[in-house]
Structure 1
Amino acid sequence: MAKEVTKRSENYSQWYNDLVVKADLAEQSPVRGCMVIKPYGYAIWEKMQSVLDAAFKKTGVQNAYFPLFIPKSFFSREAEHVAGFAKECAVVTHHRLMNDPDGKGVVVDPEAKLEEELVVRPTSETIIWSTYKNWITSWRDLPILCNHWCNLVRWEMRTRHFHRTAEFLWQEGHTAHATAEEAAAKAEEMVNVYADFARNTMALPVIIGHKSPNERFAGALDTLTIEAMMQDGKALQAGTSHFLGQNFAKSFDVQYTNKEGRQEYVWATSWGVSTRLMGALIMAHGDDNGLVLPPAIAPIQVVMVPIYKTEEEHNAILDRMYGLKKALEAEGHSVKIDDRDTLRPGFKFAEWELKGVPVRFAMGPRDLANGTVEVARRDTLTKETVALEGIEKTIADLLDDIQKTIYQKAFDFRAANVEKCDDWNEFKEKIQTGKFLLCHWDGTAETEQKIKDETKATIRCIPVDSFVCEEEGVDIYSGKPSRQRVVFAISY
């Protein structure tokens, strides 16, 4: 089955597209720019949701749901925000269809025009802050810590499954606070939740940092980000957390009475990750044989394939496998027995390899007689025969090792492709080869834009945790004084 997947070295983009389809993650839908997420792909997304949702709730966040449709007038209240999304908005103008008088199907009823057009949610700040106005009157009502699992519509012109689609799934948190300090601390807390999830669940090394003013979320005073390196050296923004200041509170007149009896505007944050994380998972860990799923995110951690010739062998092996399955599931592992009798074992091996299942068992009559099983690990493509006695601990230790090995491989790849750079000509050459370059920047939007125009490279972040970048120097492009290095890369 891997022969049907383009090799990364031949065409990285096509390799990615092949994996999405061949590994049963998603497929094209009849609607331009949208995708159908298939059960196996959605199972991975559900694992992500489960881990993240639990992490959010540990910080005091509660789930809520807000409308899909937003009155157009709401967007007029925050000029910078609407400017950031105006070109991507889908707009509902009518509320009814009718039979075509000429008998050509159905048409929009011209008499059903809405009094006010509705924008299909590109993000929820405006509808949420119009709601928060009804919830907040006093300091006793704060903080409000809400999260919202939903879909968004952003009318992307160039689409790609799990990266940029006209409709995608995500979560967006929206919090309201009495002070700027409390809101800023929440934004920082949530970006660290994302980083912890990326590193420990997705086995994805990420850099935490601040976005430059040019790259901030529309309407934010500060945007924190986690940036990951894919196997082609490009950057992928995996999650963002925004300190919104009082912009939305002022736009929607959300005030509270403080302890001294004075009226003050509320301070805000928003933060989100999307099904783009699925794309990151594929591109950071996949190989020429298919997906490589970290055990912590894999819907199936262990797949078992029986090998037999007779019905008697079949029944005996299956009986043993169901016992193993029960024992491993009792330890919290997800296990599947592939007993399809229309496929050869070799085909099954290739299919589960393509789908990235971390561990594969194969058991034949000899294994059954010897009390052993052949164990193959997906990350290294190695196999060994192990004893069934104590298999629960063996598999627990193996899954832990696979999780660490996948992370370390990605970390080592990134480390090998991050460099300091202080020469403009060298920068122009190296940035095209797929690297993160740590360069001095003079802090101006003009210089940042000129670098982007000439090389397509952007400032991915001003790092705060992964690299020490506070040092005196001169800007890579302008030659003006600089107090820090930033991460430049070409991104998705």
Structure 2
Amino acid sequence: MADQGAKKPNAKGGGKKKEVKKETGLGLSKKKDENFGEWYSEVVVNSEMIEYYDISGCYILRPWTIAIWETMQAFFDAEIKKMKIKNCYFPLFVSPGVLEREKDHIEGFAPEVAWVTKSGKSDLEVPIAIRPTSETVMYPYFAKWIRGHRDLPLKLNQWCNVVRWEFSNATPFIRSREFLWQEGHTAFATKAEADVEVLEILELYRRIYEEYLAVPVVKGKKSENEKFAGGLYTTSVEAFIPNTGRGVQGATSHCLGQNFAKMFEINFENENREKGMVWQNSWAYSTRTIGVMVMVHGDDKGLVLPPKVAAIQAIVVPVPYKNTPMEEIYDACSKTVDTLTKAGIRAEADISDNQTPGWKYSHWEMKGVPLRIEIGPKDLEKNQVRVVRRDNSAKEDIPVSNLVEQVQDILVKIHENLFNVAKEKRDSSIKVAKTWEEFMEALNQKKMILAPWCDEQAIEEDVKKRTKGEIGAAKSLCTPFEQPELPEGTLCFASGKPAKKWTYWGRSY
């Protein structure tokens, strides 16, 4: 960890000083409800999650961030291994001939593809693309490895980085030019097998958001306009940021159908020696998950971490009093850390002597540590510790004899509270709109809109055109799997034609 006394850069990475809390030298100059964008930029830097890099749209992910990523990775990797999915690694570079074989697919990514055109001072005879995703990298080899039904299913995953040369406003974690992700690529003999896996993976993504990041999401299907380029259909988990009124595509699980199999000639011979084409899926979640967590839970003190993903779940802080000898307090802090650590709780003590307890409180609040444990002379006398929750600032004195059980219980309650508060805010931001006038009113109020829709691509394009403005156009976010009742005769909010489904709409990142 960096020197705790070091000055933090401002939100844009420069050296300009910000207004800070006088009592600690720490704090945010922007409030979440007043200037969300600058608040977010401050939080991710001041909490030591990222550092700005000298190439626009690229960020250094610091240990505080990587610890969160590793926790999610450990969960997801174990779960996909239960599904007999194996990890592999394919190269970063793609030849233009391979990239351009699937027309619809490359058209979807073409503006964002970065190209290597030089080696030293020499121009390359043929430019090389850097992967924006790996379908076209991997599938020529699927065609080579799959010959008969015994080669199926082929189920691979890789943990890697991808590059998408975004020209829209870069936002750490949410929209960057390079990011970390996992990408799964699988091939099956039948569509039924592919359909099952799509939903199994989507459920894992829901669990990442809700069980680890305490962020509520909606599971659903993307529209034809919003599906993965070149795929058959796309499912997603969708989050929502009430402060900005924008949806976030949290993770996607695609059924690719036989589109890529046709282009790359991924054929197999079945048990009856009949030729067939495979059915394929691809699916991914990225470090965007971390940005969603920050946006949903963070407050005016900084980051707020759900306990399951926090690198430190409990920080122990000694509290001196007048001329009290500190040796006993330091010993009690060390014992507390040892006790919690042996019980599987990630705990550390901040026994640095160059900062006041107040400074330490603000520092660890900024970093979002779920629980602070304070130990002073009175606590020693009473054989207790004081615990302070990061999520709601609640304080409680608990006996040392019952330390582990109560800390474990409090950490569970913190997760539950974070999720419930986030869900309540999200749900209060959902508005049902049955007419265009109701839709526009809700959109201007930064709502996530549930509206009856005729499911026509041309109508969605029309909605985008009619809502286009300085802060972006509205589009469909997803059609939720859990559909409310659609009474007979219900009309589409945008076209007046008979509605076929309920769909979420709104602006998005």
TM-score (norm: length of structure 1): 0.94
Residue in structure 1 matched with residue 501 of structure 2 by the alignment: 484
Question: What is the aligned length?
Answer: 477
Q: Equivalent residue of 1:486, what SS?
A: strand
Answer whether contact 1:121 1:152 (CA < 8 A) is retained: yes
Q: Please state whether the residue corresponding to 1:490 is helix, strand or coil.
A: strand
State the match for 1:234 in structure 2: 246
Q: Label 1:76 to 1:367 Cα distance change in 2 as closer, same or farther (>3 A).
A: same
Aligned position for 1:390: 402
2:125 aligned with 1:109? no
For residues 363-374 of structure 1, the aligned pairs below 5 Å read 363-374=375-386
Secondary structure of the corresponding residue to residue 228 of structure 2: coil
Question: 2:339: which partner in 1?
Answer: 327
* 2:439 aligns with one of 427, 441, 445: 427
C-alpha deviation, 1:27, in angstroms: 1.8
Is 1:308 aligned to residue 320 of structure 2?
yes
Unaligned segments of structure 1, at least 5 residues:
98-107
Alignment of 1:274-353 (within 5 A): 274-308=286-320, 313-353=325-365
Specify the alignment match of 2:484 in structure 1: 468
2:136 corresponds to 1:126? yes
How many Å separate the matches in 1 of 2:280 and 2:54? 38
Offset of residue 262 of structure 1: 1.3
Q: Quick one: which amino acid aligns to residue 146 of structure 1?
A: L
Amino acid corresponding to residue 399 of structure 2 in structure 1: A
Distance 2:365 2:336 in 1: 21
Corresponding residue for 1:137? 147
1:213-292 superposed matches below 5 A:
213-232=224-243, 233-292=245-304
Q: Is the 8 A contact 1:5 1:290 kept in 2?
A: no
Contact 2:242 2:429 (8 Å CA) reproduced: no
The answer for the alignment partner of 1:200 in structure 2 is 211
Amino acid aligned to 1:336: E
Change in 2 beyond 3 A, CA 1:302/1:258: same
Q: Is the 8 A contact 1:463 1:469 kept in 2?
A: no
Tell me the distance in 1 between the aligned counterparts of 2:278 and 2:148: 10
Kindly state the Cα deviation for residue 314 of structure 1 after the two structures are TM-superposed.
Answer: 2.4
Distance 2:285 2:51 in 1: 21
In the other structure, the counterpart of 1:105 is: none
Write out the 4+ residue segments of structure 1 that deviate beyond 6 Å after TM superposition. none
Q: Which of these residues, 151, 163, 171, is aligned with residue 160 of structure 1?
A: 171
State the SS of the aligned residue for 2:48: coil
Offset of residue 32 of structure 1: 2.0
Deviations 1:372-416 (A, max 9, x none): 111000111121211111111001110111111110001111111
CA contact under 8 A between 1:26 and 1:41: conserved in structure 2?
yes
> Which residue, out of 427, 432, 452, partners 1:415?
427
CA distance in 2, matches of 1:423, 1:179: 41
* 1:51 and 2:75 correspond: yes
2:433–2:442 contact (8 Å) kept in structure 1: no
**Correspondence for 2:221 among 197, 210, 218:** 210
Instruction: Give unpaired runs (5+ residues) of structure 2.
Output: 1-20, 468-472
Aligned partners of 1:471 and 1:485 also within 8 Å: no
* Cα distance, 1:460–1:316 mapped onto 2, change above 3 Å: same
User: How far apart are the structure 2 equivalents of 1:469 and 1:207?
Assistant: 17
2:429 touches 2:447 (CA, 8 Å); kept in 1?
yes
Q: Which shifted more, 421-430 or 398-407?
A: 421-430
Label 1:67 to 1:311 Cα distance change in 2 as closer, same or farther (>3 A): farther
Q: Is 1:66 the equivalent of 2:79?
A: no
Whole-angstrom CA distance in 1 between matches of 2:418 and 2:181: 25
Residue 470 (structure 2) aligns with: none
Secondary structure of the residue aligned to 2:415 is helix
SS at match of 2:51: strand
Q: Alpha-carbon deviation of 1:315?
A: 2.2
Contact 2:332 2:375 in 1 (8 A): no
Q: Please report how far the alpha carbon of residue 231 of structure 1 lies from its aligned counterpart in structure 2 after TM superposition.
A: 3.0
How does 1:71-82 map onto structure 2 within 5 Å? 71-82=95-106
CA distance in 2, matches of 1:121, 1:224: 22
Equivalent residue of 1:214, what SS? coil
> Given that residues 469 and 484 in structure 1 are in contact (C-alpha distance below 8 angstroms), is that contact kept between their aligned partners in structure 2?
no
Q: State the secondary structure of the residue aligned to 1:439.
A: strand
CA distance in structure 2 between the aligned counterparts of 1:313 and 1:142, rounded to whole angstroms: 69
How many percent of aligned residue pairs carry the same amino acid? Answer: 38
Which position in structure 1 is the counterpart of 2:159? 149
Structure 2 SS opposite 1:313: coil
- Provide the secondary structure at the position in 2 that maps to 1:173: strand
Aligned to 2:7: none
What SS does the aligned partner of 1:84 have?
helix
